[in-house]
Amino acid sequence: MTMNAISRSQIYVLDQDEALDFYVGKLGLEIHTDADLGFMRWLTVNIPGDRQREILLEKPGPPALDPATAEQVRELLTKGALGGYLFMTTDDAYKTHEDLVAKGVDITDEPEERPYGIDFGIRDPFGNRIRIGQMF
């Protein structure tokens, strides 16, 4: 048996509609799936044209977390201490950075040339950290 892909990643968000505004409206991702499962809203986005890799924008709560644990996750998330990261690539880090600044995205690190490429950091409205890089 051999694994052949990572198809889904998950990050916690406090408000799924606000997450859509950010990930679709500001970052330019597209909605993959938006389904009411009864016990939760299954909301995923993907890079345009890459429907094989989804990011689940999940609210902390049932069925995965009991109420007390969900509250702890929300507290850690808003502090930026949850530890999750997303890594995305772009063809032009400086232009992408300029576009995101114009859209009011929270920039945590300015673009910097590194041995592997040019990258910079942003944060979503909930505290999740995102790195965007132009790889060499």
Query: Is there a contact between 106 and 123 (Cβ–Cβ < 8 Å)?
Result: yes
Helix (H, G, I), strand (E, B) or coil at 47: coil
Give dist(CA 48, CA 108) in Å, integer: 24
SS3 of residue 26 by DSSP: helix
pLDDT at 103: 97
How far is CA 119 from its chain centroid? 16
Percentage above 90 pLDDT, the chain: 89
In angstroms, the Cα distances linking 121 to 2, 77, 108 are 33, 17, 5
Grade residue 119 by pLDDT with cuts at 50, 70 and 90: very high
Please give the angle made by the CA atoms of 29, 34 and 96, to the nearest 5 degrees.
Answer: 10
Residue 26 pLDDT: 98
Residue 85: predicted pLDDT: 87
pLDDT single digits (tens) 80-106: 888 778 999 999 999 999 999 999 999
Asked if 118 and 111 touch (Cβ cutoff 8 Å), the reply is yes
pLDDT computed for residue 82 by the predictor = 82
Q: How many residues does the chain have?
A: 136
Q: Tell me which residue of 50, 69, 59 sits closest to 18, measured CA to CA.
A: 59
Question: Going from the N-terminus, what domains does the chain have, and what CATH number goes with each?
Answer: 8-65+73-135 (3.10.180.10)
Task: Dig out the tokens for 71 from the structure.
Answer: 């509250």
pLDDT of residue 1: 82
